[in-house]
């Protein structure tokens, strides 16, 4: 009896571990050919087995950046302000090829993304637009990205793990459709690298763009212990790209990556840091909804100040001076609610978060703080003002006087 039971158990274990039960892996390869003479990239998506995917439904914006679609299988393009393209791949090996314009200008005569004869600064989100994936059951797509560079271009950097000279593995556990998002830079580059905690950090820019790469690494090294203490999630790789005018004179975070104009100061005259603000965005990944943009923007600006202060980079006197400036900037704000918040609302949001942090520390005798609230927000798919109040009061252990405000209604 014992032998029979053991055989049955072994047989059950063998069946559970058998490949029959495992998802079938199908390769999805992205090939990007950069074409500086036409300010375009030619993108090719190749499915090793087209029948694994019923359809990919792409959101193409107004459609003006994309052209020359060619597909194995069916391709249906719906033009308009919210253009869409639906690809139904052929059953065998199937490819979809198109062109995308790289340079994208702003009203201020600057660029969000740009291609020149010697480099291209772009976003993977534009190279492969967001899409709804309808695939067969039991299928797992294994995605890779490869760049083909123009003659004379030396290298390419992305925030994804490198698996070859110009090749990267794309794996996003939070999405069904793995696509190469985040900032990317190709051309004749200057780069500096270091390891901070569990994260490989690369700071890169085109040569001759005035990017203070070692200064950036030094500031990151200075604040990193405080970043690790607040945020439980640590990316395996962080890419910071920069360039000079006429690139937009600002900063913005994307997937495990940050764009930072090389003319920006690492620490502003007011005492905050745009670079640390974007770092908080990358680590926090807080998605707000229901006209609650003040939450993610307020948290980012709050930690741009707080992380510097905790690291010893801001005296109490300077902190109080900055607090006074925030109060003055936001004094006329009557509500924090909105799909997008302006600088005055962000300033007022930071003051509210500072007040909430003091309230939590006082009521819990310094056992808890706003850090506990941000960690709770990170665990949620999205957060709105009502949920933020509930989360904060669960940390506080009682109703919050600070959050009982007309600003949040």
Model pLDDT, residue 21? 53
Name the pLDDT band for 173 (thresholds 50, 70, 90).
confident
**In the sheet where 199-206 sits, what is the strand order?**
189-196, 199-206, 237-241, 257-260, 251-254
Residues 30 and 168 in one domain: yes
Between CA 228 and CA 48 the distance in angstroms is: 40
Model pLDDT, residue 172? 83
In a domain, 1, yes or no: no
On the question of pLDDT at 70 being above 70, the answer is yes
In a domain, 12, yes or no: no
Counting residues of the chain whose pLDDT is more than 70, the rounded percentage is 95
Segment 348-365 mean pLDDT: 96
On the question of pLDDT at 133 being above 60, the answer is yes
Model pLDDT, residue 53? 95
Model pLDDT, residue 174? 72
Model pLDDT, residue 290? 87
Residues 254 and 400 in one domain: no
Segment 225-245 mean pLDDT: 94
On the question of pLDDT at 16 being above 70, the answer is no
Model pLDDT, residue 4? 54
Residues 120 and 172 in one domain: yes
Between CA 238 and CA 386 the distance in angstroms is: 32
Selection from 119, 105, 194, 126 nearest residue 157 by Cα: 119
| CB atoms near residue 365 (< 10 Å) | 7
Overall number of domains in the chain: 3
Q: Are 30 and 180 in contact (CB under 8 A)?
A: yes
**pLDDT single digits (tens) 271-280:** 889 999 999 9
Q: How far is CA 62 from the centre of its chain?
A: 23
Q: Which domain holds residue 261?
A: 188-278
CATH number of the domain within which 398 lies = 1.10.390
Instruction: Name the burial class of residue 21, with classes exposed (0-12), middle (13-18) and buried (19+) by CB atoms within 10 angstroms of its CB.
Output: exposed
């Amino acid at each position: 009896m014992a032998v029979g039971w053991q055989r049955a158990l072994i047989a059950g274990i063998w069946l559970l571990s058998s490949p029959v039960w495992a998802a079938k892996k199908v390769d999805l390869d992205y090939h990007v050919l950069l074409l500086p003479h036409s300010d375009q990239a030619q993108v090719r998506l190749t499915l090793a087995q087209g029948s694994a995917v019923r359809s990919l439904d792409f959101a193409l914006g107004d459609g003006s950046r994309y052209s020359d679609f060619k597909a194995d299988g069916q391709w249906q393009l719906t033009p308009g302000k919210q253009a869409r393209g639906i690809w139904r791949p052929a059953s065998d090996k199937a490819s979809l090829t198109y062109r995308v314009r790289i340079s994208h200008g702003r009203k201020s005569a600057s660029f969000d993304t740009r291609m020149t004869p010697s480099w291209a600064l772009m976003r993977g989100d534009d190279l492969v637009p967001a899409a709804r994936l309808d695939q067969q059951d039991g299928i797992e797509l294994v995605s890779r990205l490869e760049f083909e560079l123009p003659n004379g271009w030396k290298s390419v950097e992305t925030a994804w793990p490198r698996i070859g000279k110009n090749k990267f593995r794309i794996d996003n556990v939070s999405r069904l459709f793995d696509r190469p998002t985040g900032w990317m830079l190709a051309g004749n580059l200057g780069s500096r690298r270091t390891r901070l905690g569990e994260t490989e950090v690369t700071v890169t820019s085109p040569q001759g763009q005035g990017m203070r790469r070692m200064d950036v690494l030094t500031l990151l090294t200075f604040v990193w212990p405080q970043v690790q203490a607040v945020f439980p999630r640590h990316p395996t790789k962080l890419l910071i790209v920069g360039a000079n005018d006429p690139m937009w004179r600002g900063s913005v975070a994307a997937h495990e990556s940050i764009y930072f104009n090389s003319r920006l100061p690492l620490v502003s005259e007011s005492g905050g840091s745009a670079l640390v603000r974007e770092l908080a965005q990358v680590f926090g990944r807080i998605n707000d909804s229901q006209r609650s943009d003040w939450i993610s923007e307020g948290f980012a600006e709050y930690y741009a100040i707080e992380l510097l202060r905790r690291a010893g980079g801001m005296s109490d006197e300077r902190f109080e001076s900055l607090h006074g400036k925030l109060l003055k900037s936001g004094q006329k704000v009557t509500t924090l609610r909105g799909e997008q918040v302006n600088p005055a609302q962000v300033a007022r949001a930071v003051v509210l978060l500072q007040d909430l942090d003091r309230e939590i520390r006082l009521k819990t005798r310094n056992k808890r703080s706003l850090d506990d609230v941000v960690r709770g927000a990170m665990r949620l798919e999205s957060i709105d003002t009502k949920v933020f109040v509930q989360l904060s009061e669960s940390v506080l252990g009682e109703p919050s006087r600070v959050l009982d405000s007309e600003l949040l209604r």
